[in-house]
């Protein structure tokens, strides 16, 4: 699976369409597509609408499958987990940043490379252990920090090409799940799931493999639980911190995919 199907012309035309959507204020949160004189939709919706235009679809066809993330794999050569992540960030970035996010995301992905699972591991590790924004820094409980460090170490090995065994992942997952129950009340954990964009989050968890799904849940739940605690006393600080997290994550994602340039046939 090569990005942009190894076709620089496809990327150029796709970026042209996204730029048009941006210039005409067609990006809106909360919908994969609506037509009221002109098309408007979220980042994924407008991206897939752009593909429909490039494929010459007209009438109702131009609105077809604008919420089908699997098209990223078959028509853009981009793995589905990254499509869901683009979707999630579009919904959680500030309105100003969301307005340019789809174009910036598409620009960052080089032509003709395979996006390996290593990139997903890098992103998940960042969510767990990055200074300031990592889940590790959302708690001062030693047992939780130890569990996170164990998982981060396994991601380090995967990133380096020394993939841990299933038994090693299972052991780390079991330990982390137990520590999470001790660290956060059940209600906080469930509230955390509701605090994030349910459509993007649950779809991503269903699409990713079990290990990645667990790590994503752990990262999002912990951050949302931390934000929820702050919101009780500092609602304005909480909103600013959540926005800062999405901004920092979006920048890290762009850096990770840009770094793939020169690793394929492009």
Region 231-247: what's the mean pLDDT? 62
Question: Please, what is the angle between helix 210-233 and helix 117-129, to 10°?
Answer: 30
User: Per residue in 101-122, pLDDT tens?
Assistant: 999 999 999 999 999 989 988 9
Report which secondary-structure segment, H or E, holds 40: strand 39-40
What are the b/e assignments for 29-42, b being 16+ CB within 10 Å?
A: eeebbeeeeebbbb
The b-or-e profile of 51-70 (16+ CB within 10 A means b, else e) is bbbeeeeeeeebbbbbbebe
Higher pLDDT, 216 or 244: 244
Rounded distance, CA 155 to CA 149, Å? 10
**Cα–Cα nearest to 70, from 108, 44, 98:** 44
Alpha-carbon distance of 235 to 211, in angstroms, equals 33
236 CB neighbour count, 10 Å cutoff: 9
> What does the pLDDT read at residue 203?
38
What lies within 8 Å, CB to CB, of 228 at 6+ separation is: 188, 191, 192, 195, 238
What pLDDT is stored for residue 179 in this prediction? Answer: 58
The first and second tokens of residue 69, run together, are 């993330």
pLDDT, tens digit, 9 for 90 and up, residues 248-263: 999 999 999 999 998 8
Residue owning tokens 């752009």: 50
Q: What pLDDT, on the 0 to 100 scale, is given for residue 207?
A: 38
Q: What is the pLDDT of residue 190?
A: 34
Chain centroid offset of residue 161 CA: 22
pLDDT score for 202 = 36
Contact in structure between 34 and 66 (CB atoms under 8 Å): no
Q: Are the C-beta atoms of 15 and 102 separated by less than 8 Å?
A: no
d(CA 77, CA 63): 21
Q: What percent of the chain has pLDDT over 70?
A: 72
Give the Å distances, CA to CA, from 231 to 58, 234, 237, 239, 242. 47, 5, 8, 8, 11
Distance CA 62, CA 59 (A): 6
For 184-216, write each residue's pLDDT tens digit.
Answer: 433 333 333 333 333 333 333 333 333 444 444
Looking at residue 246, its pLDDT comes to: 87
Please tell me the predicted confidence (pLDDT) of residue 172.
76
Residue count of the chain, please give it: 266
Grade residue 265 by pLDDT with cuts at 50, 70 and 90.
very low
pLDDT at 36: 84
Beta bridge partners of 27: 41
Domain residue limits, the chain:
3-108, 117-233
Mean pLDDT, range 118-128, rounded to an integer: 86
- The helix (H) or strand (E) run that includes residue 35 is strand 34-35
**How far is Cα 189 from Cα 158, in angstroms, rounded to an integer?**
28
Instruction: Answer whether 45's CB lies under 8 Å from 32's CB.
Output: yes
Mean pLDDT in the chain?
78
């Amino acid at each position: 699976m090569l990005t942009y199907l190894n076709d620089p012309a496809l990327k150029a035309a796709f970026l042209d369409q996204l730029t048009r959507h941006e210039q005409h204020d067609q990006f809106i949160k909360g919908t994969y597509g609506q037509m009221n004189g002109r098309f408007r939709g979220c980042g994924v919706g407008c991206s897939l609408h752009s593909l429909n235009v490039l494929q010459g679809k007209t009438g109702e066809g131009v609105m077809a499958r604008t919420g089908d993330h699997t098209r990223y794999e078959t028509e853009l050569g981009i793995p589905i987990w990254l499509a869901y992540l683009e979707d999630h960030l579009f919904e959680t970035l500030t309105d100003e940043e969301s307005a340019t996010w789809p174009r910036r995301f598409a620009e960052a992905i080089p032509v003709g490379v395979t996006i390996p699972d290593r990139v997903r591991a890098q992103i998940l590790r960042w969510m767990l252990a990055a200074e300031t924004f990592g889940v590790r820094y959302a708690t001062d409980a030693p047992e939780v920090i130890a569990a996170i460090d164990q998982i981060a170490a396994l991601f380090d090995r995967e990133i380096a090409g020394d993939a841990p065994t299933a038994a090693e992942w299972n052991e780390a997952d079991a330990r982390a799940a137990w520590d999470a129950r001790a660290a956060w009340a059940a209600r906080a954990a469930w509230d955390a799931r509701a605090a994030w964009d349910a459509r993007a989050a649950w779809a991503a968890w269903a699409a990713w493999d079990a290990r990645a799904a667990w790590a994503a849940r752990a990262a999002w739940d912990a951050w949302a639980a931390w934000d929820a605690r702050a919101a009780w006393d500092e609602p304005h600080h909480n909103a600013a911190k959540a926005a800062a997290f999405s901004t920092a994550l979006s920048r890290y994602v762009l850096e990770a995919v840009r770094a793939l340039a020169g690793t394929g046939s492009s």
